[in-house]
Structure 1
Amino acid sequence: MKVVFSRKGFDQRYGGMASLILPDGRLIPLPIPSDHDRETIDNVGFADLDLDTMLRDLSRERHSSTSTVHYDPDLGGRHAADIPGWRPALGQTGAAQGHLSNNGVGAGDIFLFFGWFRRVEKLSGRWRFVQRAPDLHVMFGWLEVDEVLPVVTDRFGSLQRHPWIAAHPHVASPERYTDARNTLYVGRKRSAYVDGLGGGRFPFLRPPLQLTRDGLSRRFWSLPSWFEPRGRAPLTYHPGADCWKVEGDSVTLKTAAKGQEFVIDGNAYPELERWVANLIRETV
């Protein structure tokens, strides 16, 4: 098994603010804004929340529930129940897909999606980010890869096998996604770890989902000590020994500022599969 730490959602360039940790601990991952897509934030599946007011307050009117977003990875939402055969899926293209391909990511591997999150609160009737609350990298979802579809070089065959993918943004706009590397990663029908589909969102912030080490900037992650390479192929984009600092049973990793996908190969890290299994089972 290979595991991919995949950076997604609002950031300082796209969105200009963090995704949300609600007072009850719920995670609200915000897909990046997009003028080229039709999906709106309101459709991502939090029907019990007044997302419009929340987003207008937090963004100072830059974003609202009707803002269009690039909803990818598609881990569920209001639309899923209306699409026969729907499954979780991730689209990737360009250099990021080249990196995944070069590292042999495919069926049987797992994506762990993370992004920038911060706690919010409602004060005097308005939402705001909690003062002095830390900026965190948090894992908000996962995908167990069942199939890898070349949706440009074999569009007809991909749609014939899985008609439901027509709604995915990497398939719905062929005029925009012309790179032959444009690829769709389709989740399993049945998860290997929990009841249900092989992918979804982690609903609440739990300690195992927080990557950022307490007291440090969000780029500094706390991982089990066995992640340290020690002569093995490291988590991609992190080859230097100065990236890793072992502290007891954990290691602090200074993550790369750039790069969407960080890949680690379980052939070199036998602890990886059990770690992922426990992570998913404990947080879904």
Structure 2
Amino acid sequence: MKIILSRKGFDSSAGRVASPIFPSGEMCSLPIPEPASTATNQSKRYAEISFGNCSLGTVVDDLTQGKITGDRMAHLDPDLSYDSIDRQANWKPVFGQSGAAERHLQNCNVQEGDVFVFYGWFRQVEQCAGRYRYVRGAPDLHIIFGWLQIERRIAVDKRWEIPAWALYHPHCNPKRTRTKYSDLDSIYIATDDLKLPNIAINKPGAGVFHRFDPALCLTAPGRSRSWWQLPGWFYPGAEKAGLSYHSDVSRWTQGESHVLLHSAGRGQEFVFDCQEYPEALAWLSDLLCLSRDT
């Protein structure tokens, strides 16, 4: 089994602000904007996407200071929460990838049973005069916010294989189809239940972490968000392929119980194999225990 650390949500180029950690400790990854050129009547506006009792339209409008409004179309991907929009029957969580990032997943032989662990840029927010704003001095953090275990991958040029309930997904949008990239645009559909080798766990095949926990934070204390503190077993060995995009050992610093990693700025999908890192299975299981059942 492979685990893929997958960077998603608002970033410095798409959205340009951090996703929020609310005063309650709840957190929500903000999906990046959908370009107007690829929006369709199936695209969802931020105002149509729910987070608890709140509309994401209000959140993005406040945090971007009106640069992105609730009327803007969102690229809802990964789509992990049943309650975020109205659903068709038989819906399952789904994630799409394309271009160089999809080629990397294929080159790494990512397949059924492998698990995406989604992370993104987060920061604490507060409400002032009824509007959300970032807490002054609050750190920028890379935080794990969700997961998806792969039941099947479907190349979107094989449209006849895509379930009817999934045709709303932005990667199934005909406006995106470009012949030279058709074999490098795929959706990944989640399993119903998560299955880990030799570990009993009662969790769905995909979901989100609703509440911040320090164990979900990749960023090392006191560091910029791209500097990660990871368990010591992550350190690359001579006989291991290691974490993709991070084979340069100068990125890694060993400590007593942890390693410090200067994570790569390029690339969205960082892959490693649990056969090389068997400790990763217990690590993932412990993380998933932080999620509430949905």
Q: TM-score range by the shorter chain?
A: over 0.9
Task: Quote the sequence identity (%).
Answer: 38
Partner of 1:96: 101
How do residues 191-230 of structure 1 correspond to structure 2 at under 5 angstroms?
191-192=194-195, 195=202, 197-230=204-237
Aligned: 1:270 with 2:278: yes
Partner of 1:18: 18
8 Å CA contact 1:3, 1:263 repeated in 2: yes
User: 1:76 and 1:43 mapped to 2: Cα distance?
Assistant: 14
The 3 A distance-change label for structure 1 pair 151 and 57 is closer
Partner of 1:65: 70
The 3 A distance-change label for structure 1 pair 42 and 218 is same
Aligned: 1:155 with 2:144: no
SS in 2 for 1:120: strand
How do residues 82-231 of structure 1 correspond to structure 2 at under 5 angstroms?
82-152=87-157, 154-156=158-160, 158-159=161-162, 162-171=163-172, 173-178=173-178, 179=181, 180-192=183-195, 195=202, 197-231=204-238
8 Å CA contact 1:30, 1:41 repeated in 2: no
What is the aligned-residue RMSD (CA, Å)?
1.7
Which moved further from structure 2: 56-65 or 75-84?
75-84
Which moved further from structure 2: 45-54 or 209-218?
45-54
Deviation, 1:50, is 5.2
Deviation, 1:150, is 1.7
User: 1:53 and 1:33 mapped to 2: Cα distance?
Assistant: 15
User: 1:81 and 1:55 mapped to 2: Cα distance?
Assistant: 20
Aligned residue pairs total 279
Cα deviation digits, residues 189-230 of structure 1 (max 9, x gap):
223376563101110111111010110000001110000012
8 Å CA contact 2:49, 2:85 repeated in 1: no
Cα deviation digits, residues 71-114 of structure 1 (max 9, x gap):
11111244665311111111111111000000010101000111
TM-score normalized by the length of structure 1: 0.93
Deviation, 1:177, is 2.6
Partner of 2:33: 33
User: 2:84 and 2:121 mapped to 1: Cα distance?
Assistant: 25
User: 1:143 and 1:51 mapped to 2: Cα distance?
Assistant: 22
8 Å CA contact 2:44, 2:73 repeated in 1: yes
> Residue 264 of structure 2: which of 207, 231, 256 is its match?
256
